[in-house]
Structure 1
Amino acid sequence: MELLGNSELGLKFIVHTPTKPSDKCYGYSTGPGQKAFVGFNKNKVSNLHPPWGKCNPERKLTYADHYTVEACAIECKLSRVVAQCQCKPYYFPGDFDDCSYEQLGQCAFIEIAKINANFGEECDCPIACKNEEFDVKLSYASFPNIPYGGDLGKKFKITLPEVQPGVPEYGTQVQYIRGNVVSLDLYYESMSETETVQNKAMDSTALLGSIGGHLGLFIGCSVLTAVEFLECIIMSTLGHCKTAKRRRELSLKKTHEPELEENNHSYHNKAHFNENGNGSSDV
């Protein structure tokens, strides 16, 4: 929380975790005479590292124990301002000289505005792998009402001097409080937390399951069906091999049968010749 400067009158505040630095460029404002009702809910975010996500779990910062985009942005702006202006805004971390009023207006704020206008290219600040954020809802009411303002005036012993002799006091206590007091009412809208987890779109197991599911949906394919197809291919191949083998055996058998018949015929003729004595040497 900080006091507003320049032409504004009031307070500027931001709801964040202790490990998340407050950036002066962000926040909510409220002025005197108002009561701000600040309701918020806590959200936890978990992001994936490459190749599925963009966070970098190894990213470290110089002036922060926990990496956040906001802390990275502050260090990026600090580096740029120190390099160009040889000083830093008083609210930036680091052991550097604070900028004077002239240096802030003529150099530091100009460099910060350049970075804000093109933050994505000027600073390498990927999203955090673990982050906690707050969704804030604001509503306002006039503060205080007349009875409560009177009670506050008595409680804090607010006395109002005369502006000029003989002129009544500067308004009433209620008017004084409305011009100088800011009221904030901060509360959780819900005691529950919302956690957002970034998951892989598809890993190897999911990919195989998806392929099997689509095959089963469109062509009725399953592991059993694939095994049956494989068995059918193997049995068909074996059947073709057996058929080819039988054909070769039959072909060889038919080739040998004429030779056997011719040999048998020659043998019978020779035997018949011997029986008739035409070829005997004993005659």
Structure 2
Amino acid sequence: FLGSLRLILSAFWLLALCTSLGLLLSWSSNRLLHWLSFPTYTRVHTEWAKELAFPAVTICNNNPIRLYKLTKSDLYFAGHWLGLLLANRTVRPIVLDLLQEDRQTWFKKLSDFKLFLPPRNFEGTNLEFMDRLSHQLDDMLLSCKYRGEPCGAHNFSSVFTRYGKCYMFNAAEEGKTLRTTMKGGTGNGLEIMLDIQQDEYLPVWGDSEDTAFEAGVRVQIHSQAEPPFVHELGFGVAPGFQTFVATQEQRLTYLPPPWGECEAKALGFFHVYSVTACRIDCETRYIVENCNCRMVHMPGDASYCTPEQYKDCAEPALAKLSAVENSNCMCRTPCNMTRYNKELSMVKIPSKTSARYLQKKFNKSEKYITDNILVLDVFFEALNYETIEQKKAYEVAGLLGDIGGQMGLFIGASILTILELFDYAYEVSLNSRPHLFLTRTFSGVHGSSCSSAAGIKGARKRKREIRAS
């Protein structure tokens, strides 16, 4: 009976041990697989600040080239690219239809190349061409205030984008500190009044049979570390309206692989990584490789594309790059970035009273003011910023804690218990080996002693025999 009971108990404890070990391995492997999936969570937090750095504000006129600033040489070389002339340098019929009668006469005379002796090559570079013929801020900027204090065109920096020559307020420049603000709300940011000079707009653009539908400016609010990408990330501001832009700063932090997909490595043309910097870097390399030149908004030291190269190579190549998925232009999210949320609202201007005032001040008609004047007001909604952080949801410490808890639950063990088992096994093996060693050593020593004693006795006996003889 006792033997059967002992057998049953042994089987029970063996089953309990195997079950506990199985559950331990199952749950531990589950936790290990969860850790290997590199889970994350997002932490959103709003923080208040005594002052905030004002963002960079990039402004571009929707019209890249002023029609009535073109010279005969400009039209000869760039007319086909601008969509004003056909390939044989004759006027496109639609252009004359879109111009007023007095302007038609001027353009016919400008486009008459019968007695014109053109230069051998395109004069200057396309950068100089765009710089000279674009809308100048000195002409567009009618009024400028920052935090109620006057500002001017000298507070803006020139920057070239797909829209041509644009202007950036509060750019990061060596030797200059960034402008800050210590209050939120209207009047505590940038307020500018612009004349978009709509009478100078090109009647058509490129090969399109349509006119340029948009009149106004394109605006992007961005970090100083990020180059402008106005044609994709900008918003429109229309003439005849005052547009209020309430913004809030967001500071985003993402994790690198394997937890996330962010990138922090600087690019060849930019010191700080961003998605827009990556896009521009990729586009630049693609255009230089395929056309052996670069567009005016692209960095680097390659020569600028001529109007003919723009028309025949650069613009088609850039359109092809944007239309197809290109593995070389897969740009990851930066590990650290600053972006600005925006809320837009607008009111119609001018009022009847202000219309008379503006007519006298700028010597313009009310219709011209309605068609060309706009006011842009950019400010922080409140003096706070939002942090959005991607964090590791399960780290090594959590994994070890879970496995340790399951060891205690299922087998009543801990790290110390396992160490004690190893120590016990080591001591058992150590104690068994010296016993065998000592036994063999003792036997060897005893045997050698006996042999030595016998040898000595034999030597003495032989010595006595020699003396007796």
TM-score when normalising by structure 2 = 0.41
Counterpart contact for 1:212–1:222, Cα < 8 Å: no
1:63 CA displacement: 2.3
Measured against aligned partners, the alpha-carbon deviations of 1:139-190 in whole angstroms (never above 9, x if no partner) come to: 2322211111222233x3415xxxxxxxxxxxxx332211111211111122
1:124 CA displacement: 4.2
1:119 CA displacement: 5.1
Q: Which residue of 2 aligns with 1:158?
A: 363
What RMSD over aligned residues (CA atoms) do the two structures have, in Å? Answer: 2.9
Q: Which residue of 2 aligns with 1:128?
A: 334
Amino acid at match of 2:348: S
1:120 CA displacement: 5.7
Task: Give distance in 2, aligned partners of 1:196 and 1:146.
Answer: 46
Task: Give distance in 1, aligned partners of 2:231 and 2:402.
Answer: 47
Task: Give distance in 2, aligned partners of 1:148 and 1:71.
Answer: 43
Measured against aligned partners, the alpha-carbon deviations of 1:186-227 in whole angstroms (never above 9, x if no partner) come to: 1112221111111113111112334456x49xxx8289x436
Counterpart contact for 1:11–1:29, Cα < 8 Å: yes
Measured against aligned partners, the alpha-carbon deviations of 1:22-71 in whole angstroms (never above 9, x if no partner) come to: 114321112221222112111111111222222233x1222222111110
Task: Give distance in 2, aligned partners of 1:222 and 1:149.
Answer: 84
1:76 CA displacement: 0.4
Q: Secondary structure at the match of 1:91?
A: coil
1:185 aligns with 2:391: no
| Structure ranking higher in strand proportion | 2
1:118 CA displacement: 3.8
Counterpart contact for 1:115–1:122, Cα < 8 Å: no
1:67 aligns with 2:254: no
Task: Give distance in 2, aligned partners of 1:145 and 1:206.
Answer: 65
Q: Which residue of 2 aligns with 1:164?
A: none
**Which consecutive aligned stretches of 4+ in structure 1 deviate over 6 angstroms post-superposition?**
none
1:116 aligns with 2:322: yes
Counterpart contact for 2:263–2:273, Cα < 8 Å: no
Task: Give distance in 1, aligned partners of 2:60 and 2:244.
Answer: 18
5 Å matches for 1:1-283?
1-5=59-63, 6=205, 7=212, 8-26=214-232, 27-57=234-264, 59-118=265-324, 121-154=327-360, 156-159=361-364, 173-211=365-403, 215=406, 221=409, 225-226=412-413
Task: Give distance in 1, aligned partners of 2:307 and 2:393.
Answer: 52
Tell me: CA distance 1:118–1:198, structure 2 relative to 1, closer, same or farther (3 Å): farther
Counterpart contact for 2:262–2:334, Cα < 8 Å: yes
Task: Give distance in 1, aligned partners of 2:288 and 2:256.
Answer: 31
Task: Give distance in 2, aligned partners of 1:120 and 1:47.
Answer: 24
Q: Which runs of 5+ in 2 are unaligned?
A: 1-58, 64-204, 206-211, 422-469
Task: Give distance in 1, aligned partners of 2:324 and 2:398.
Answer: 39
Tell me: CA distance 1:142–1:210, structure 2 relative to 1, closer, same or farther (3 Å): farther
Q: Secondary structure at the match of 1:15?
A: strand
Amino acid at match of 1:158: N
TM-score when normalising by structure 1 = 0.66
Tell me: CA distance 1:50–1:31, structure 2 relative to 1, closer, same or farther (3 Å): same
Flag the structure with larger Rg.
Answer: 1
Tell me: CA distance 1:125–1:152, structure 2 relative to 1, closer, same or farther (3 Å): same
Q: Which runs of 5+ in 1 are unaligned?
A: 160-172, 235-283
Task: Give distance in 2, aligned partners of 1:109 and 1:136.
Answer: 31
* Identity of matched residues, %: 29
Task: Give distance in 1, aligned partners of 2:312 and 2:244.
Answer: 37
Amino acid at match of 1:221: L
Measured against aligned partners, the alpha-carbon deviations of 1:231-274 in whole angstroms (never above 9, x if no partner) come to: 9xx9xxxxxxxxxxxxxxxxxxxxxxxxxxxxxxxxxxxxxxxx
Number of matched pairs: 213
